[in-house]
Each structure stands twice: as C-alpha cells, then as structure tokens.
Chain A
Amino acid sequence: MATAAKIGIGSAINRVDGVEKVTGTARYAAEHPVENLLYGYIVEAAIAKGRIVSIDEEAARAVPGVIEVITHLNRPHVAWTDHSYQDELKIPGSPFRPLYDDRIQFSQQPIALVMAETFEAARYAASVVEVAYAAEAHNTDFEVAVGDKYVPKKKRSGYTAPKNRGDAAQAFADAPLKAAGDYRLAPEHHNPMEMFGSTVEWHGDGSITVWDKTQGSQGVHAYLASVFGFSKKKVRVLNPYVGGAFGSGLRPQHQVFLAVLAAKKLERSVRVTMIRNQMFSHAYRPQAIQSIALGAETTGKLTAIRNAATTSTSRYEDNMENVVTWGLMNYDCPNADAEYTVAQVDTATSADMRAPGAATGMTLFEMAIDEMAYEAKVDPLEFRLVNYSPIDAMNGTPYTSKALREAFREGAEAFGWSERSAEPRSMRDGKELVGWGCATGMWDAQFSKTSASAKLTANGHLEVACATSDIGTGSYTVMTLVAAETLGLPPEQITAKLGDSDLPTAPVEGGSWGAASTGAAVQLACQAVGKKLLKAAGEIAGAPLGDAKMDDVLFEDGCIVLKDTPTVRVPFGDAMHAADLTEIEEEETAAPGFGDMWKGLHKSKNTHSAIFAEVKVDEELGVVRVTRIVDAVAAGRIINPKTARSQILGGVVMGVGMALHEETFPDHRLGRWMNHNFGEYHVPVHADIHDIQVIFVDEPDPEVTPLGVKGLGEIGIVGTAAAIANAIFHATGKRVRSLPITIDKILD
C-alpha cells in the first residue's frame, strides 16, 4: 500500500535545509544578531618562535571606538593545566593556549585581541599595535626536520600501528621486479569558505550563548567550561549552520577562546572573526614524505611492500595519522612492513583534513602501485585485480563487506577503460596529450556512540533532535529521511534539529561516522516512539490492532498498520487521543555493538572506491586539465543518493586540488606561510572541473552499522589525486612523485 510513493532511506530528496541556504536566511556563526555587540580583531605574532618583549597599545587605544586591547598581561584568569585545554580529539602534548603568556610558538599565533565598537575600528587599531620580540631560532623546513623524525611515545587515540608480515626486506631484495621511490605531499590548508568566527551573547547572569563555527557544539561546550571555569549549565554552544570545515573545526579554534575571553573581561556580547589570511594560522594537513618500495614477480604478483612515512607536527603536540596501513590492508602480498614517524616544525599543530592519513598515505601508495604495474608491464587495473585481497591483508580479518571488485568493473565500464592503449604518450587530442589513470580509495566505516530524541505531537508533527553538526554533509536531511522511514511520515511533517549543545549527546562530526551513527540513534528514538504509539493504540475502544506486537505492525502514512491485514489502520492521532497523550517524546542512544553489529565485531570495516581519471596535457605549456573522472564507490547503504553524490563530487574536487593546485609555501627565513590567501593558495574553480561521474556500487552490509551505512565524507578524496597523477604519467611519460603536480614539475 502506498509504498511506491513512500519517502525514506534511499529517496533522492532535495536537501531539507536548502531553502534557507539559497535565500541567505541560514545564519552562520558570525551572523547571529545580538544587541550592543563589540567586535574583536586578532593581532598575530610576526615571528615563528621566541618571546614577546613588549606590546605598545597606546596608538590602538587612541583609535575612536576602541574599548580594550587584551593581551597575556591583562587577560582574565584562565585554566593553567594542559588537561584543562584537552579537547575531544585528545592530541598528545601540551595544547596551545591563546594569550597565556609571552611565549611565541608559531608565526601568526594570536597575541592580542583589539575590541572596538565597530569591526573597522578594531581592524585599524590592530594594525597600529606595536610589538617587540626576542626571537629564537626556528625551523619550518620539513625536509630538515625529518632528520629528527621519531615515533611518539604516547599515541593519539584512533591511531593504528602497522603490523608487519613475512620478511619484506629480504623479499624486496629478492624480487625480480622492483619499484621504489620517495613520494611527497605539500602542506594544505582546509580553507572552508566561511571563516572561523564566534558570536558570544553575554546575558549578564553569568551565562553565555555562543554561536561558533565548529564541527562539534558539545566539544566546544566542554572546552569552554573547562578553560574558563563556567558551570556547564551556564554555557550553550550552537552551530546550526557551518560553512564547511573539512576537519579544521574538529578542535575548538582560537577565535572562540578569544571571543569568550573578551566577553568575560568586558562583560559584553562580542563577535570575533578571523580574516582569510588568519585561516592559515591554525589547522593544516601535515606535509608528508613516504618512502615506498614494492617488489613483484614478472606476472605482476606483489612479493614485497615496504612503506615508511613521516608527517609534520608542531613542537608542542604529536599529531599522528594512519598513513602507512592502507596499502598493507588492501593488497595481497606475503611480505610487508611499514613504519610511521612524525617530525616537528615551528608551525601550529597540523590537523585532520578530509580523510586524514588515507588521503595522504593511500594516495601516494597508489602512485607507487602504478609504477610497479608499469615495471611489470601489466595494465594498472589488471595489476590491482591480480593483487586483490578479499580480506584485510594486514590484520588477517574478513571485511564486513568489500565490493571493490564490483567498483572496478562498473567504473571501468563507465569510463571505457578497455579502450586504453598502455604505452605512455600514445593517446592524443589535437595538441594535447591524453592520459588515463586509475587508483583505489579506502577509508574506515566508523560508528560513534550517539543519542537522539524524537517527539511526536498529536497533530502528526515529528521533531528529531541530536547535537550533531551539518557542515554541508546533509545531516539534517539524513535525520529527516531516517525518521520518515521509521515512522512512515512525509518529510514535510518532520523537523530535524541539530547544532546545539543542549540536544542529545553526539560526537564531533567527522571521520564519516555521522550518517551511520546519527541515523541509527534517530531510528532507535523513532522506534521507541512507535512502541509508545502501539501501546497507546491499545486504549482505543474495541482494540482494532488486537494484541499486535511491534513485529506485527508497520508505520505508514501517519498510521499504525497491521502487516497481515493492511486494511486495519490506526492514525497516530487516534492512538494518542485514546491514551490522552498530547505528545510522545523518547530519547535513545546508539552505541557500537547493537543490532547485527556484534557479528562484525572482529571484522574490518571499510569503504572502498575505484577512481578513473582522464587528463589532457598541453605539451608545450605543461597545463593539465582533468577532463573526466569516474568514481565508483562501495560504501554500503546510501541514505540519500542526491546528497551522497554531492559528497563524493566534493571529495573528488578536493582531490583535483591535491593533484594539481593545493600547496602552502612557508618562507623559512620568516617561518611563515607566504601564500596565505585565495589568490595564491589555489583551490579548484569552476573552470577546472569538467565531467565527474559518481557510481554507488551495491553493497548490502547489515554488520557494519545498524543501518548498513558506511559514510561518505572522506572516501571521495582518497586516491583521486593518484588516479590523476597516474593519468599524467600515461599522458606524458613523466613520473612526478610530489603533489601537487604543478606546471613547473611537468616541464622540468
């Protein structure tokens, strides 16, 4: 009955928050109207390391409209232990404390905050703050720092140490065919379009409301309470709309600290926003060097994998990523070893950026795999199938599902891979060389403990709520669709609420666990409402549903329906009326292990993808155009094909940036990022993006997460740059082992 029209999981509906976004009525962190607002502008350190000797604020204070200049010398009391500053990510080390003392740990470190009646007055006054420094020797050159690389004693949570197998050194020495090289990835900055900003409303009763650009309202809430000594009830953090983040908003960033600090000192409502060049003052994807050595038989069968990587971190924290494990997991090869180390530079701590670790380590590994395939004279796609591992080859465990073979088949067919001529420089289109490359992508299918509530009112309206975030990922829409599926209501009768620390508990949104975890929590909460409804229906005179249990009914078009006798239908309102209920509200928590997840307890859980890229390279100018991408993704169940496709498109576009454009250059003399603006830090623009086709491969997987969802936020970027790099080799015959592959490297 009416199931054809039913909207639920799998329906390609428009984003439910779309109208707010296209009409400019969605308010982001720095856009919430508050009375008597003061504006803050951040003054940044001009040196990379040393001490502040003096700060001359006189000229700044003389600017009309300036209220205060806050520095380490006149700030209010803040917490002093490292523990108090630990955020949800718990990076080992001593977290950065803004305006704590005279110490400078990185260039662009915030050292003062100018507060004024207008943004312009604060900005101008900040420019006339004079700071004297005692500089110390610094190093921002990662290539120098790797000389002192090390394995951190305390590991970051979520870090997986690689497991060696066989004797990779001997097998590599004995291998008839070898490919080995050092591969590099430049530092990248997230650069979400919305700049970090916070609006703090000072209520005057010791409580504050904070609108913050963050991927986790409750993470910021806990941080502010801990650092400033607020009672948890006195702080509320909201992030209903977030203008992108890509990992840069996982940790509380310094503008929220500064905004609350200023509010506390001045007992006023304040707004602090970064400007674009200040967006380079904190999180960035670590720079990486990965030494990969592969050995194979003449048939193309891998015999040895050696995979060692170093990534950059700061002097004060050990940021670790899972860089070297992916290749060991993905390929069938009897001998493999790997090593992961970090090296310190005098920058802010590097950070998670879209698919942290995998976007680096799997991408660079897939560039090496292409070289090995060419050494073996085996088609790069065929090479991956020859060495295909149906199980997790590093841990020796089965996957809950791995439809990578199907992804390769469907992707290759859509791309037309069989038409490829193997020889480099063998395909042309006019004066452009044409190249086709492929690569594998891989990410974790994660699940994180999450709570949600569902409230049904007698008029048939359902509200589902969870403190998760929607950073453009589609969480509002996912929550709506899962609720529609579970209780059989149309999306128009459902409101999804998120981005508020007062709502049921959720972790930061990241790691691609959002849809699986929030979705499961919403489903549980809606099921609990369903149970209450069924119980309420028992109060109806004549008991039309008899003694039906939950398994005997379904929820459809706002009615409880007997499965066996679909003509027996009880509208929700009738049931609630009979039980004298005006609303039913339930809260539930989805924790790892429930449902069929226990069956997957000792299995590996991953998403996979097969990426095919076509490039056209101007032989004289070295200009590369990525004219075609096909990304076939195996990521379990897809909740909304429309928004899911967009997430993959977005990952692929960022992968194009990684392949061709994105690189932040330090000036090592100053210890400072030079190209800290959109004019010189290049991201893909409209003209760079041509045809991208996304395929979702059928991959039912009830064991991975309760809804069979694996998550999509990261997988689109992993391996994409490798497919492009491999296509550039195929087009030009030139191997470039460092990303991004800019024109100079092609013409060199």
Chain B
Amino acid sequence: MPTAVNSATYAAVPIGTVPTTLTINGETRTRAIEPWTTLLDLLREGEDLIGTKKGCDHGQCGACTVLVDGRRINSCLKLAVTLDGAEITTIEGLGQPGDLHPLQSAFCDHDAFQCGYCTPGQICSAQGLINEGKAKTREEVRELMSGNLCRCGAYSNIIDAVLDVIGEQA
C-alpha cells in the first residue's frame, strides 16, 4: 500500500486546527484537523484511503458512503472534527485482496459494477443496510439502496449481490 504522503501537508497548515481522535479501520489516530475538512477529504487526501470516493461532494450520490459506529453516512456531509472518538470503517476496513468481505465477493461474482467508482460506496451502504436489519425483500433493498447512484447501470446485479449476502446471513 502506498503511504499517506499528504498527511504532512495537511498537518503543516498552521491555522485553527482541532485535535481529533478517530479510529479508522481499527487503527486509532489523532490528527490536527481544520474545522472545515470533511471526513471524505480527510480520508482521501489526508489518510490516502482513496477507496472512499468523491462523486458529488453534495450528499447526492452515495459514492463516499462509509460506516461511522456501524451506521452508513455520506462522508462528504460530515466534518471530520465532529467525529472525535468515533469508529470509522471504510471499504479498506471491510476486506482486502486475498481476504474479501462476503459483500465484496458477491459483487465480483454478480459483476455488480463496471467502472467500479461507485462500488466501495455501494458495498459500505449495503453493509449499513444489513446492520439496520430492515431490508429483506428485493423491493426493500432497492428502495433502501437508492441513495447510491451507479451510472454504469449495474443496479440489478448489485441487488442480486446484496440479496445473496442477506440470504446467507438470514
């Protein structure tokens, strides 16, 4: 894995930073964060966790979905300094090459993506959906995954993949 080369740049900015402790994918780190930095930009530019994608920066596409204390959120709409003490799970924390999460395997098997850009957000959102425990049917999963856009149109394959995993866990 490449190193987080931009952390130094971010930490070096002298003005008004707030010390914030975050547990990201099981690793606790304290960072001096500018109050206007979103969780999304912190992850991507500060921590080099680029699996979390920026698709709109407006909470309209879901590509930046991560799990905060087990709940799915749009990380572009969350200021990082408000998450002191939180546990954050990104796509990198769900599984790795060679040790895939069941959702990651199911997405591969169902070809539930094409360009792959919305995929980490779809998978994190699906894990959040599973954590919520309320989606059981195809109709419900479709409705409750609708905050995650896929411009390649892999929707039906994504639902197949998510239902596979929900079925295994039921």
A-side residues, CB < 8 A to B, are: 14-15, 17-28, 30-31, 33-37, 64-65, 117-121, 124, 191-195, 241-244, 246, 273, 275-276, 471-474, 642-643, 645-647, 649-654, 677-679, 683-689, 691-692
B153 and A651 form a contact (CB under 8 A): yes
Interface 1/0s, chain B 113-133, versus A by CB < 8 A? 111111110010000000000
* Contact (Cβ within 8 A) B57 A653: no
Which single residue of chain B is at the shortest CB-CB distance from A717?
B153
Contact B155–A193 (Cβ < 8 Å): no
Chosen A-B contacts, 16 in total, with CB atoms closer than 8 Å, are A19-B108, A26-B116, A31-B44, A33-B4, A35-B5, A119-B41, A121-B13, A193-B117, A241-B115, A244-B152, A645-B111, A650-B114, A678-B56, A678-B60, A684-B155, A686-B142
Q: Is the CB of A192 within 8 A of B108?
A: no
Chain B interface mostly: loop
Interface of A is mostly: loop
The tally of CB-CB contacts under 8 A between chains A and B is: 208
Interface centre among A117, A119, A193, A471 (most CB of B within 10 A): A193
**A683 to B148 CA separation, bound complex (whole angstroms):** 11
Q: Does B21 contact A (CB under 8 A)?
A: no
Q: Are B97 and A23 in contact (CB under 8 A)?
A: yes
Determine whether the beta carbon of B51 is less than 8 Å from that of A23. yes
Q: Which residue of B lies closest to A15 (CB)?
A: B111
User: Roughly how many angstroms separate A215 CA and B148 CA in the complex, as a whole number?
Assistant: 24
**Does B169 count as interface, using CB distance less than 8 angstroms?**
no
Known interface pairs A193-B115, A685-B149, A687-B146; A33-B48 also in contact (CB < 8 Å): yes
Residues of A within 8 A of B1 (CB): 25
Closest chain A residue to B2, Cβ basis: A33
Say whether A683 contacts B149, CB under 8 Å: yes
CB of A626 to closest CB in B, whole Å = 12
Report, as a range, how many residues of chain B touch the other chain: 35 or more
Query: Given B91, B109, B154, which contacts A24 in the complex, CB threshold below 8 Å?
Result: B91
Assess whether B142 is in contact with A687, with CB atoms less than 8 Å apart: yes
Within 8 A of A (CB), among B43-64: 44-45, 48-58, 60-61, 63
Q: Which residues of A contact B149 (CB under 8 A)?
A: 193, 678, 683, 685
Chain A residues whose C-beta falls within 8 Å of the C-beta of B90 in the assembled complex: 24
User: Smallest CB-CB separation from B3: which chain A residue?
Assistant: A33
Whether B67 sits at the interface, judged by CB under 8 Å, is no
Residues of B within 8 A of A (CB): 1-6, 9-10, 12-15, 34, 36-37, 41, 44-45, 48-58, 60-61, 63, 90-92, 95-97, 100, 104, 107-109, 111, 113-120, 123, 141-143, 145-159
Given A276-B58, A649-B154: A25 and B51 interface contact (C-beta under 8 Å): yes
- The CB with the most chain A CB atoms within 10 A, among B41, B57, B111, B157, is that of B111
Asked whether A650 and B3 contact (CB < 8 A) given A19-B97, A23-B91, A685-B146, the answer is no
- Nearest 8 CB-CB pairs, A to B? A24-B51, A653-B153, A243-B117, A21-B116, A472-B115, A472-B114, A650-B153, A678-B60
Q: Is B109 a contact partner of A23 (Cβ separation < 8 A)? A: no
B60-A677 in contact (CB<8A) = yes
Given known A-B contacts A193-B150, A246-B151, A677 and B56 have beta carbons under 8 A apart:
yes
CA distance A689 to B148 in the complex (A): 13
Which listed residue (B6, B50, B91, B118) contacts A193, Cβ 8 A? Answer: B118
* Residue among B13, B50, B108, B150 making CB contact with A65, cutoff 8 Å: B13
Give chain A residues whose Cβ lies under 8 Å from the Cβ of B111. 14-15, 18, 642-643, 645-646
Inter-chain contact A193/B61, CB cutoff 8 Å:
yes
